[in-house]
Amino acid sequence: MLLIECPFCGPRDQTEFTYGGDATVARPSDPAALDDEAWSAYLNLRTNPAGEHDELWQHSLGCRRWIGVRRNTLTHQILSTWPPAPPKTA
């Protein structure tokens, strides 16, 4: 069982959180302009890094906020957490 430090609520059990994906993948600025192959690649093709990796998690059974989590994918050790930056506007 992992203990995740919510920046808003403090340490909580992992069962309160939902994994939200890779925090290093940028959403396309104009998704409507992508063809099916490019959109499929954005949605489905991901690397599977070994070691430290940044992820997004939602505190779904707590404050419901999204947080950034740096986790070691080999040991599952949580190294740090932070409130994610607000989305950039064009």
Query: Two tokens at 35?
Result: 């063809």
Query: Two tokens at 22?
Result: 């890779």
Q: Answer yes or no: is pLDDT of 90 > 50.
A: no
pLDDT at 47: 84
* pLDDT per position as a tens digit, 57-74: 999 999 999 999 999 999
Give the start-to-end residue ranges of the domains of the chain: 3-82
The answer to whether the beta carbons of residues 24 and 54 sit under 8 Å apart is yes
Q: Average pLDDT, stretch 35-51?
A: 91
Reported CATH class of domain 3-82: alpha beta
CA distance 90 to 88: 7
CA 6 to chain centroid: 13
Those residues with Cβ within 8 angstroms of residue 38's Cβ, 6 or more apart along the chain or in another chain? 28
Tell me the CA end-to-end span of the chain in Å, nearest whole number.
Answer: 40
Which of the four pLDDT bands, split at 50, 70 and 90, describes residue 87? low
